[in-house]
Amino acid sequence: MDDGIHIEGLSKRYGEGDTAVEALKDVNMRIAPGEVVGLVGPSGSGKTTLLKCLGAVIEPTRGRMTLGGEVIYDSEQGGWKTPDLRALRRDRIGFIFQAPYLIPFLDVTDNVALLPMLAGRANGASRARALELLQALDVAHRAKAQPSELSGGEQQRVSIARALANQPPVILADEPTAPLDSERALAVVRILNQMASQYQTAIIVVTHDEKIIPTFKRIYHIRDGRTVEEAGEGREIS
């Protein structure tokens, strides 16, 4: 049983013939439920391509991906296991972006409740779930506020709550601390660790933020489309 994230031999090639570019080359990763790992690498190394493959936004060329114990992609067996990638993203993958990208015309509660609603849950139950997450992330007092009324840190916490709303086994965080100062960046990492532990979610944090790299226990370095795993410092965040 492969809970969390398990990637085997993942490759992605853009283009054909002489102009083909191999963005990912035989990538292997394994992240356990409740674990937060860093994915670091220079620009153009393949971080975003890996994230897009994991996020079921683009199709890999080769390999196998398992999320929460379920194979979602296997090139040997016809590619994607489900034709409805939208539902796959909605129900099984949480996204956190560099900027929070909250929906500006929904209040904080509905920004978080939108995902369960899209999954077909009743409005009341969805909002109750949203409030529960907002409390866990210490932003429940801003539940009725509009996104534009929140600070950068509050917005990012709301976006984390949104990523957790449908209890996905996996969260993909794309440079979530980039616009934040050191204190707020470390606070976000602390929250991600708490949430991963509390909800048994595997979290991949794509970053080249030097402030937070030492906090990861495991780090995947990606260069020229290949990953190398190394142990991180796992520094405590005070």
- Tell me which residues touch another protein (CB under 8 A): 47-49, 51-52, 55, 57-58, 86-87, 89-91, 95, 97-98, 101, 103-106, 110, 113-115, 117-119, 123, 146, 162, 174-175
Nearer Cβ to another protein (103/228)? 103
Nearer Cβ to another protein (32/87)? 87
Nearer Cβ to another protein (59/233)? 59
Nearer Cβ to another protein (80/95)? 95
CA 212 to chain centre: 16
Least Å from the CB of residue 50 to another protein: 10
Nearer Cβ to another protein (86/144)? 86
Least Å from the CB of residue 110 to another protein: 6
The three-state (H, E, C) secondary structure of the chain, written as one string: CCCCEEEEEEEEEECCHHHCEEEEEEEEEEECCCCEEEEECCCCCCHHHHHHHHCCCCCCCEEEEEECCEEEEEHHHCEECCCCHHHHHHHHEEEECCCCCCCCCCCHHHHHHHHHHHCCCCHHHHHHHHHHHHHHCCCHHHCCCCHHHCCHHHHHHHHHHHHHCCCCCEEEEECCCCCCCHHHHHHHHHHHHHHHHHHCCEEEEECCCCCCHHHCCEEEEEECCEEEEEECCCCCCC
Least Å from the CB of residue 166 to another protein: 8
Least Å from the CB of residue 94 to another protein: 9
Nearer Cβ to another protein (52/129)? 52
Nearer Cβ to another protein (11/98)? 98
Least Å from the CB of residue 19 to another protein: 20
- Phi–psi pair at 130, nearest 5 degrees: -60, -45
Least Å from the CB of residue 231 to another protein: 26
Least Å from the CB of residue 168 to another protein: 10
Q: How many beta carbons lie within 10 A of that of residue 141, not counting itself?
A: 11
CA 98 to chain centre: 11
Pairing of strands 218-223, 226-231: antiparallel
